[in-house]
Chains A and B, each alone.
Chain A
Amino acid sequence: MRARAPLPDALLRDARLWRGNGQAPLRAEPTGHAALDALLPGGGWPCAALSEIVYPAPGAGELQLAMPLLVRLARAEQALAMVAPPHLPYAPGLVQQGLATQRLLVVDTRDEADALWAAEELLRARAGAVLLWQDAIAPTAQRRLQLAAEHGGGFALVYRCVARRDTASVAALRLGIERVAGSARVEVLKCRGARPDRACAIAA
């Protein structure tokens, strides 16, 4: 039997090629949680893309999931924004996590349309990362955010506080987080370029 020729490297490096459990190279930034990085294609948050975090209630460790990324971006003098957060982002706590809060902009909005618009504007204006809290986000809105993130080259993180995790999403990465017996557990619900449905615990 003739030996199969190996696939060309250029083809293997293409993120559009899905190879079962093989991890396609993807431009990504480490999440700062080693156990989680190991599960993700590219080893972290996908760059210039939309990621979604599904959490049951504020306080599940959802912000700490993104904190190492925010700290690193702020240190690189990138602008950060939180749009329509569910509670007051508490400066003493943020500083204790190592975040340079003067790089952070908080936008309080009256309705979801305003929040979406503001997040899109900030992403297009080359924000390092924009965190948007919106539970019922339409697929078209997600696509707009995705395009804005591609345009500005930043990270778009959408927080959705929903009970059901199986709703459709166009996000490049979809993580679910919940607190089980005093520690946060992250589950990869969907990711571009690798097989999802894996979980790990993070310190939060």
Chain B
Amino acid sequence: MLWLCLHLPRLPAEALGLRDPFDVVTEQRGASRWLITAGPNVAAGTPLGTALSLQPLLRPQPRHARAERAALLGLAYRLYHYGSPVHLEIREFAETGRVPQALLWVEIAASLRLFGGYDALRERLCAELAETGQHAQLSVAPTRAAAALLAGLGGAAPIRGLDALERRLAALPVTALPWPGAQLEALHGVGLRRLGELRALPRAAFARRFGAGRLLELDRLYGQAAEPAEAIVPPPRFRRRFELAGEIEQVEPLLFPLRRLAYELQAWLRARDVTLREVRLEALHAQRRRTRFTLRFLDAHRDGARILGGLQERLAREPLPAAVRALELQATELADACVVQTDLFARSDGQGEWTAAVERIAARLGAPAVWTPAPQADHRPERAWRSDGAGEAVTPRQRPLWLLQRPLPLPAMPAPPAAIERIESGWWDGDDQRRDYGVTEWQGQRAWVFRTPDGRWFLHGLWG
């Protein structure tokens, strides 16, 4: 086993969409509040009062544990295509002043070759994290506990074997262990500073003194005991909620969380090996009101940038009715994955671009504004066309290129047409028509005109 561990020191802030370094998140227990993300020149774990005296410009925000868990889950799904199993944990500590640790593990031994070695994988992962602006400290070790320990210390060169791991761990300070403060103090009290010294203690005496549980944890750290944990599997449905730090009224600040949701959806689609046809975005307002935006794609795909582009255009089209507190993205219709067939000749390479452009336009102008004309088998001119592109037979009689939305009454009788075509139809569906059509010249235009039985003339079409 080779575990890649991500330690996410800024997750509490990122989960709330806070990007400014002066925005810090605080944890509260009783009367004491302390920072759980670092600010400029203030370390995480500093009491809030101290932090504000050092850096008065800080904007502290209370922690939102549910949002953190959701963000971590979203990230876990994104890591799913690097390897499996994927595990996650948010380590909480009972004492005041300690910083919870958000951790993610992926087993990468099996997929290293696929990605072309650890360096290539790391580069790709970092680029993906940078896309959504996520900070992470990476480390690789043969055990999960050791990988988490090393990632928490800031990351280091990957450790592949158990021997190398033992050597590396021996030099680490005991205080790096995720154990309760009282226990760490007790270890310090008996003069144990390094993990190597701790490991050298007789096992029976160690278990008696610090508990069998701690001994087991130490064994797991060194790879001498199994590390059971529940693996994360992407759920069959995608529904992700993003809690915003405050109420947001403009569209621009929503783009950042939207971006993260879109890329999480992309990762989820990849992990489940499905493609997306329709997606729904809900903006949640105060008093449980919500605004829905549905976006349908012309062909199923799993491209995060395309999802994001469509949602952006959609949001830009309709102003938000009220301030937004949270966003929820849901995949409402999925399709099976299809392997993209590439043409041997370069002719069809623009197809994807074209589809994406049409979708962007439909998202901004509304779906009915973008259509494909097709003939429909009906004698009545108004009904002889349809807007879905599915063509039917066409009459052999001459038809104009432009049809006026509504026939225009002519003030005077036009030059008499050479041939008259009588269209009399529709008595069965309430749209009865009886008209005599003909082609004539009208004010320098080649016009399609008709006469009603009562002798009035109308302009109905033009040869553009």
Contact = CB atoms under 8 A, between A and B. Distances in A.
A8 interface: no
A58 B402 contact: yes
A10 to B, nearest CB: 28
A178 B444 contact: yes
Nearest to A56: B444
A79 B354 contact: yes
A101 B372 contact: yes
Interface in A124-160: 124-127, 152
B372 A94 contact: no
A7 B399 CA distance: 53
A20 interface: no
A34 interface: no
B112 interface: no
A101 B402 contact: no
Interface string B35-56: 0000000000000000000000
Interface string B379-394: 0010011110101001
Contacts of B442: 59
Given A101-B374, A179-B446, A118 B361 contact: yes
A169 B149 CA distance: 68
B357 interface: yes
A60 interface: yes
Contacts of B372: 101-102, 104-106
Interface string A82-103: 0001111111111111000110
B404 A61 contact: no
B21 interface: no
B384 A91 contact: yes
Contact of B365 (A61, A97, A108): A108
Interface residues of B, number: 48
B93 interface: no
A60 B373 contact: no
A64 B442 CA distance: 18
B251 interface: no
B354 A59 contact: no
By secondary structure, the A interface counts as mixed
Given A58-B462, A86-B402, A94 B373 contact: yes
A87 B403 contact: yes
Contacts of B399: 90, 92-93, 96
Contact of A88 (B360, B403, B446): B403
A86 B361 CA distance: 19
Interface string B400-414: 111111000000000
Nearest to B445: A59
Interface string B430-464: 00000000000111111100000000000001111
Nearest to A114: B365
A88 B385 CA distance: 10
Contacts of B353: 124-126
Nearest to B389: A102
B142 to A, nearest CB: 50
Contacts of B463: 59, 61, 63-64, 93, 204
A93 B365 contact: no
Contacts of A57: 443-445
Nearest to B385: A91
Contacts of B447: 59
B401 A63 contact: yes
A135 to B, nearest CB: 15
B464 A107 contact: no
A55 B386 CA distance: 28
B375 interface: yes
Contact of B354 (A67, A96, A104, A127): A127
A110 interface: yes
Contacts of B374: 91, 101-102
B354 A89 contact: no
Given A64-B401, A87-B405, A109-B365, A122 B357 contact: yes
B401 to A, nearest CB: 4
A106 B402 CA distance: 13
A77 to B, nearest CB: 8
Contact of B391 (A95, A117, A118, A178): A95
A126 B358 CA distance: 12
A101 B375 contact: yes
B141 to A, nearest CB: 48
Given A95-B391, A182-B441, A87 B404 contact: yes
B361 A107 contact: yes
25 contacts: A59-B442, A63-B464, A85-B402, A87-B402, A87-B404, A87-B405, A88-B405, A90-B373, A91-B373, A91-B391, A92-B375, A92-B394, A92-B399, A93-B400, A93-B402, A96-B398, A96-B399, A101-B372, A104-B372, A105-B370, A108-B365, A124-B353, A124-B357, A125-B356, A126-B354
Given A59-B446, A108-B371, 9 more contacts: A57-B444, A59-B464, A61-B446, A91-B376, A96-B399, A102-B391, A106-B371, A106-B373, A125-B358
Q: Which 10 A-B pairs have the closest CB atoms?
A: A59-B445, A126-B350, A63-B464, A59-B462, A125-B357, A87-B402, A90-B403, A93-B399, A91-B373, A91-B385
